Amino acid sequence: MRRPAARWMQVSRVGALFLSAGLVWATTSVAQTAPQSAHERGTALYERTCAFCHGSDGQGDTPAGR
């Protein structure tokens, strides 16, 4: 016959396993999608926030930039 404490230890081990698997997944997915250099981060920021008006080459010759 099992003791109640043994059941809680099993549940906590399973919970710890899922928690650690989730943390590993989260850190690897963030590390794979994050740009590595300042140039890449700047390029991504420009494309997200500036390129609509300024254009991809920065000349401002888009319909929104005129």
**What is the number of structural domains in the chain?**
1
CA distance 35 to 17: 29
Q: Is residue 48 situated within a structural domain?
A: yes
pLDDT of residue 47: 93
The two counts, helices (H) then strands (E), for the chain are 3, 0
Q: Which residues contact 54 (CB under 8 A, 6 or more apart)?
A: 46, 60, 62, 65
pLDDT of residue 3: 61
Range of the domain at 59: 36-66
Q: Is residue 50 situated within a structural domain?
A: yes
Q: Which residues contact 3 (CB under 8 A, 6 or more apart)?
A: none
CA distance 47 to 40: 11
Q: Is residue 6 situated within a structural domain?
A: no
Q: Is residue 52 situated within a structural domain?
A: yes
Q: What is the pLDDT of residues 1-48, one digit of tens each?
A: 556 566 655 667 777 766 677 777 776 655 556 557 999 989 999 999
Q: What is the pLDDT of residues 52-65, one digit of tens each?
A: 899 888 888 888 87
